[in-house]
Amino acid sequence: MSSDNGSMPTILVLGIGNTVMSDDGVGVKVVQLLQDEYRFPDHVEVLDGGTLGLDLLPKLEGISHLIMVDAVETGDKPGTCVRLSGEDLPIALETKISPHQMGLKDLLAVARLLDHAPDEMTLIGVQPGSIEMSCELTPAVASQVEAMKGAVLRELEALGVAAVRG
């Protein structure tokens, strides 16, 4: 059920990760904060994708812009934030740091095959310090949650979306 919103891009902000694997859950935590603290226009969906992998495929249909928030292996020191898009994205997804990342790579590959791939994709990521079993983020990554939230809001702003506190 798609709505005709003219030339307005349809945007999905997708937090990915496993909240019981320490820093792997950072994407979910950032998205949960965005859901709790802001309201978004109807053409923007902010979704906790958890570890759903290919189950998220229907959510990509009709999406023009996908902003993913996740822990990503960059080789930098823990807590280092990155913004990846375009050609850099597939390279980042090649390095699997957790079980769900294979799901994300597969999800985007299948979306391309079905011609559901978003026109624009951006990953707001952070180098994890630990993906051991724990519900807590490491201090290095926890200290970046606000910065990652701000990065998502800036991406949305660049697309003409004003998030409203509340």
Question: Would you write out the chain's pLDDT as a tens digit for each of its 166 residues?
Answer: 344 445 566 999 999 999 999 999 999 999 999 999 999 999 999 999 988 878 888 999 999 999 999 998 888 999 999 999 987 877 666 665 555 555 677 788 888 888 888 999 999 999 999 989 999 999 999 999 999 999 999 999 999 999 999 8
pLDDT confidence of residue 73: 85
Topology, domain 11-165:
Rossmann fold (3.40.50)
Kindly give the pairing relationship between strand 65-71 and strand 120-126.
Answer: parallel
pLDDT confidence of residue 99: 52
H or E element, residue 60:
helix 57-60
Q: Phi first, then psi: what are they for 154, rounded to 5°?
A: -65, -40
pLDDT confidence of residue 112: 86
Buried b (16+ CB within 10 A) or exposed e, 7-44: ebbbbbbbbbbbbebbbbbbbbbbbebbeeebebeebb
CB 34 within 8 A of CB 45: no
Domain-wise residue ranges, the chain: 11-165
The two structure tokens encoding residue 104:
């994300």
Q: How far is 119 from 53, CA to CA, in rounded Å?
A: 19
